[in-house]
Structure 1
Amino acid sequence: MRLQDKVALVTGAAGGIGLAIARRFVAEGAYVLLADRKEAELLAAARSLGERAAALVADVTDPADAQKLADECVRRWGSLDICVCNAGVIRAADFLDLKLEDLDAVMNVNVRGTFLVAQAAARAMVAGGRGDGAIVTLSSMTAELAMPDQLAYGASKGAVRQMTKSMALSLAPHGIRVNAIGPGSIDTEILATITSNPEARRTVLSRIPMQRLGSTDEVAKVAVFLASDDASYVTGQTVYADGGRLALNYTVAVQESRGAG
């Protein structure tokens, strides 16, 4: 097993991609601390993974909570080897309608939260003195592709991608690797609110060369690779699991100019 007896922290783990990553990590032999704000769902998720999983309710935007997560891994299992910064939120709105509080909410969780958890985890890894460690952040294809109603989310994920590069450079002397995953259209509850409409689903699929949605487990497999020794010479990279969508270079249909004619 590729993560045998490694200790991992996964945020945003009550469901979706985060839970899929935690499940894969446990299957690969890791001990995993699941973190989320949704207490009932989080506890149920941890129970479903068995004795190698534990749960801790936390707000990643709170420095004390971020530190608490790293400390709990060390207290419970003696070290912290892997950190996955998956917690994130989305607020869709056209630029003219986007509210400042929604912009702040997205940047606070997606950027500040990633920074706080990754920093606390990295400090624990350095203090552990093992000379290794892996941090995986969650970016998005929207870090590359602009969408008219995703200004806040796209900006936050672009920031995560750049943070990942900077963290990789800073932590390389300590043997800690930092990489990002950029998911494309993944079959989650959030995307289901769009794809439940047959026409909207056809539109989404028309932009994916593989002609299907990705699964959360397919993203989790990338996380296992990046967290494991299989990626021992990989750092500062973003791996896009998007079914070829970025290669297609097409996001939304170009509207005709309002001034045309």
Structure 2
Amino acid sequence: MSSLLLNKVVCITGASRGIGRACAVEAARHGATGLVLHYLGDDATTKEMVALSAEVESTFPGAKVAFVPGDIADPATAAKIVEVGVAAFQRIDVLVSNAGICPFAEFLTMPHATWERTRQVNLDGSFYVVQAVANQMKAQTPQGGSIIGVASISALVGGEFQVHYTPTKAGILSLMQSCAVALGKYNIRANAVLPGTIATDINKEDLADDDKRAGMVKRTCLGRLGVPDDIAGPVVFLASDLAKYVTGASLLVDGGLFVNLQ
């Protein structure tokens, strides 16, 4: 087992599936002893979280899990995440702000409720949890930590059915940049990871179109779509002391999709 995150307490939002789940497993693999895992709390994510917790604690005996249900768009959820994390492990060293949604929708007919809910979950939720955890990182001894916002390649480019989604991901990128400036004095680093097309539940229906899926694969330099653990490795790097002088950065993890113009 690697020791990159040895004795670290890692908090991950949206951890029951996809990128969040992969980050939880990878953090434990690299030595994290405490995992504070947030999930929505409906029947499906509750079952997923119970299974993930059992898997992590049996596979990595040094890792302990505390999990927190709740709507990330509610600021009370962020406060609860910190409360549970500190009660279980006395501190939080790493935050991976990952929870997000992308209900694909046509722009001109999009209900305002779709815009509002996407913004509330993706951007408001990120702000709330980053602020809450940053206050804990400032207060604890030794002071400091690493905050990683999971943005998207969509922070840099547009999408016909993502007019509500891309601004939220651009907002997360900007949030991390400003937090790097605001929090550096407390030894808190803030960075963004920008995944390309990763095969998860968030785009399962969109990628069910065989022609579209093939087109997305062809656009990558590596000739495949990403999978969740393709993101987990870069997240562990940014969380670890290997990245101790990295803050305000954005790491594009897209298999070469962005640069592949032709």
Which bracket does the TM-score occupy, shorter chain normalised? Answer: over 0.9
**Pairwise mapping of residues 21-170 of structure 1 onto structure 2 (< 5 A)?**
21-30=23-32, 31-37=34-40, 38-50=45-57, 51-170=63-182
Secondary structure at the aligned position of 2:259 is classed as helix
Residue 12 of structure 2 corresponds to which residue in structure 1? 10
CA displacement at 1:249 relative to structure 2:
4.3
Matches within 5 A, 1:142-221: 142-221=154-233
Over the residues paired in the alignment, what is the CA RMSD in angstroms?
A: 1.3
Listed one character per residue, the Cα deviations across residues 57-80 of structure 1 (whole Å, up to 9, x for unaligned) are 122111222111012111111111
Identity across aligned pairs (percent)? 33
How far residue 160 of structure 1 moved from its aligned partner, in angstroms, is 0.6
Deviation by residue 1:84-132 (Cα, 9 ceiling, x = unmatched): 1000011211211111000001100100100000111000011103132
Distance in 2 (alpha carbons) for counterparts of 1:207 and 1:183: 14
TM-score scaled by structure 2?
0.92
The answer on whether the counterparts of 1:205 and 1:211 sit within 8 Å (CA) in structure 2 is yes
Matches within 5 A, 1:230-249: 230-249=242-261
Aligned counterparts of 1:34 and 1:148: Cα–Cα separation in 2: 33
Q: Is the 8 A contact 2:218 2:224 kept in 1?
A: no
Where structure 1 has 5 or more consecutive residues not aligned to the other structure, the ranges are: 251-261
CA–CA distance in structure 2, aligned partners of residues 149 and 143 of structure 1: 14
Measured against aligned partners, the alpha-carbon deviations of 1:30-79 in whole angstroms (never above 9, x if no partner) come to 11111111322222222221152221212211122211101211111111
Letter in 2 for 1:179: N
- TM-score normalized with structure 1 length: 0.92
Alignment partners' CA distance in 1, 2:221 and 2:98: 26
Q: Which moved more, 1:53-62 or 1:65-74?
A: 53-62
Q: Could you tell me how far apart the structure 2 residues matched to 1:133 and 1:201 are?
A: 38
Distance 2:183 2:36 in 1: 22
TM superposition shift of 1:199: 1.5
| Number of residue pairs aligned between Structure 1 and Structure 2 | 250
User: Whose radius of gyration is greater, 1 or 2?
Assistant: 1
Q: Aligned equivalents of 1:112 and 1:9: distance in 2?
A: 18
> 1: distance between equivalents of 2:113 and 2:47?
27
Are 1:19 and 2:21 matched, yes or no?
yes
- 3-state SS of paired residue (1:135): strand
